[in-house]
Amino acid sequence: MNQKDVYRNIALYKYFVLFNEPLFRGVIIITSLQALAHMELSDIFLMESLVMVLCLLFDIPAGALADLIGRKRTIVIGQILLIGSSIGFAVMASPLSAWISNIFWAVGISFQSGADKAFLQNTLSEGGIGEQYKDIEGRAVGARFLLFAFCSLAVGPLAEIDLRIPLLLSLPGSFVSFFAAWCFKEPARSGSYEIKKQLLLIKEGFVYSMKKAELRWIIGFCALLMAAGKLWFFTYNPYFETVGIDLKFYGFIFFLLNIIAWFSSRFVKRIEEFLGEERCMLFMILSTGVPILLMGLFPVWFAAYLVLIQNLVRGFITPFLGGFINKHIQSERLRATVLSVRSSSTNAVIVLALAGFGLMTGNLGLLSSLIVLGGTVLVLGGMSFRSYKKIAT
C-alpha cells in the first residue's frame, strides 16, 4: 500500500464512521419499539439481552475471520446486514419484526466489531503514522456526533407527524457507509482463509489478551462502562416520559448531548494531555455513575439533562480506550482478534446486565433501578480504578 492509498483509506474511513449508525433512529428507538412493535420496556430489555448473545457468539470468530480474509470484506458483509436491519426497523409492526431487525443488527455489528478499528490501525501503521490513531478516530467519531446533533433537531417534529419518518430517514446513511467500505484499499493481511487457521487465531488471540495485565484490565473496564452506557441509553425515553418531557423536545435534548459527545471526541487528545491518563479514567467512572444515581434519586424534568454529562464519556471513550488498547497490542497478526475479544467480553457483560436490569425494572421500577445501576458503577468503577493504579505503577 502506497502513501496515496493510506490517505485515501483515512478519508473513506471518516465517511464510513460518519454514516455508520442511524442518524435519526436513536432519539426515539425505545418509543418506536413500544408504539410500533407493541413491546413493553421489560420485553425490550429481554430482547436486547438475548440478541447480544449473538454478538457474543459472533464477535471473536468474526474478528479472526477479518484477520484471515481481510478487514474490508468483513466490514462490507457487516454493512449489508446493517442495511437489512435499518429496513426492518423502518417497517416493523410487531415484536417478531423487531426481533428479526435486531438479529440482523447483532450479526452485522459483530462482523464489523474489531475489524474496523484494526483496519484503521493497520492502514496507519503501513503509512508510518500509527501514532495518529487516537486523533483520527476522535475526529471521525466527533464528526458523527456533530451530524447526529443536527439531525436530532428534526426528529421531534417529524416523530409527532409519524414515528416511521425518522426510521426511514436513517436508511440513506447506511448506503453511504457501504459504498465507503466497498472502496477501501485492503492493508496487508496474514493469508488465505482456512478454518484451522481461524480456530488457532481465536485461541491465540484469547490467550494473548489474558496474558497481558494491561489488556485484561482494559477489557474489564470497557465492559463496565459500555454496559452501563447501554443500559442508561435504553432508559432515556422512559425517563423523559416519567418526568413529563414532551416528545417534541426529545430531539433538542439529543442535539445537546451529541454536541457534547462531539466536543469530547474531537478534542480527546487535548483532554488527555490536560488531565493525564489516570484522571481520564476517574473522570469516566464519575461521569457515568454519579448522573445515573442522581436521576434515580431526583425524578424531576431538569434531571433528564444529566444525560449530557454521560455523553462526555460517550464521545471520549471510543477513541481514548481504542488508543489505549491498540498501544498494548504488539501483534499486528492478532489485532482484530484481540479487539474482538474485548468486544465479546463487553457483550457478555451487556447480556447479563440487560437481563438483570430488565427484571429489575419490572420489579422495582425505573427510578429504583437507576439508583442501583449508578451505585454499582461507582463501586465497581472504584475497584477498577484501584487496579489500574497498580498496573500503571
Three-state secondary structure string covering 3-52 = HHHHHHHHHHHHHHHHHCCCCCHHHHHHHHHHHCCCCCHHHHHHHHHHHH
Higher pLDDT, 169 or 5: 169
Band of the pLDDT at 63, cuts 50, 70, 90? low
Distance CA 78, CA 76 (A): 5
Band of the pLDDT at 72, cuts 50, 70, 90? confident
**The pLDDT of residue 195 is above 60:** no
Predicted confidence at residue 60, as pLDDT, reads 65
Predicted confidence at residue 54, as pLDDT, reads 81
Tens digits of residue pLDDT in 197-219: 656 666 777 777 777 777 888 88
Domains along the chain with CATH numbers: 3-183+201-392 (1.20.1250.20)
Determine the average pLDDT of the residues in 145-167: 89
| Residues 6+ positions from 221 with CB-CB distance below 8 Å | 281, 321, 384, 388
Higher pLDDT, 64 or 194: 64
Does pTM surpass 0.85?
no
Residue with C-alpha cell 492478532?
334
Band of the pLDDT at 193, cuts 50, 70, 90? very low
| Mean pLDDT across the chain | 84
Residue 328: how many CB atoms within 10 A of its CB?
Answer: 14
Among 319, 329, 219, 214, which Cα is nearest to 271's? 319
Predicted confidence at residue 131, as pLDDT, reads 74
Predicted confidence at residue 206, as pLDDT, reads 73
- Of the ranges 35-44, 175-184, 260-269, 343-352, which is most confident? 175-184
Determine the average pLDDT of the residues in 33-42: 89
Tens digits of residue pLDDT in 248-299: 888 888 899 889 888 888 788 888 888 888 888 898 999 999 999 999 999 9
Determine the average pLDDT of the residues in 71-78: 88
**The pLDDT of residue 57 is above 80:** no
Tens digits of residue pLDDT in 328-357: 776 666 676 677 677 777 878 888 888 888
Pull the grid cell for residue 100.
428479526
Determine the average pLDDT of the residues in 160-179: 92
Tens digits of residue pLDDT in 308-327: 888 888 888 877 877 777 77
Contact indicator for 387, 285 with CB cutoff of 8 Å: no
Band of the pLDDT at 188, cuts 50, 70, 90? low
| Burial of residue 241, with CB atoms counted within 10 A of its CB: 0-12 exposed, 13-18 middle, 19 or more buried | middle
